[in-house]
Amino acid sequence: MKKSIHIILFLLFLTISNAHSQKKVIKTDAEWKQQLTEKQYFVLRQKGTEYAFSGEYDKHYKTGTYYCAGCNTPLFTSTTKFDSGTGWPSFDNHINNNVAFLIDKKYGMVRTEIICNVCEGHLGHMFKDGPKETTGKRYCVNSASLLFNKK
């Protein structure tokens, strides 16, 4: 029992260390408003959501990498993108520790919110109804929170 507690504490320490090893981007609200478009600000800083099927990356399947629109951190690759039919870009995995997870209890339900681990911008939510042949996860992301760079 004691050994398993030590292992759990060590793994927790590694997780926290990795999360804090990235340089955080911290800006004032005025700086974010100056940098981002209205839609990006609404999604990334106010935890807003785009209307389904309205985002530019929903049906986007070029080869490359999707970056955080707030701080340019690489978040997802095109190889992990799939058509979930939900109206939002969907991925079954993320890059390194660049995505963090929070419990979201708004609207009378419990969901897993996903944020950029560097600037803490809201990206969307993670659900466990993704492709079973890969991770089984679906990272449901707002297009406004992303920038795309072609390979």
Closest-CA residue to 81 (of 59, 99, 103): 59
- Does the domain made of 23-150 have the CATH classification 2.170.150.20? yes
User: How much is the pLDDT for 21?
Assistant: 54
Report, as an integer, the average pLDDT of 115-136.
97
Q: Determine which one of 68, 116, 119, 140 is catalytic.
A: 140
* Domain limits, the chain: 23-150
Backbone angles phi, psi at 85, to 5 degrees: 80, 10
User: How much is the pLDDT for 107?
Assistant: 84
Report, as an integer, the average pLDDT of 132-140.
97
pLDDT tens for each residue of 55-105? 999 999 999 999 999 999 999 999 999 999 999 999 999 999 999 999 999
pLDDT tens for each residue of 9-60? 444 444 444 444 578 999 999 999 999 999 999 999 999 999 999 999 999 9
pTM of the full structure: 0.84
Q: Is 68 a catalytic residue?
A: no
pLDDT tens for each residue of 101-122? 999 998 888 999 999 999 999 9
Query: How many Å is the Cα radius of gyration of the chain?
Result: 16
Task: Please give the single-letter amino acid code of residue 28.
Answer: T
Torsion sign, CA atoms 31, 43, 112, 94? negative
User: How much is the pLDDT for 106?
Assistant: 87
Please determine, for residue 7, whether its predicted confidence score (pLDDT) is greater than 90: no
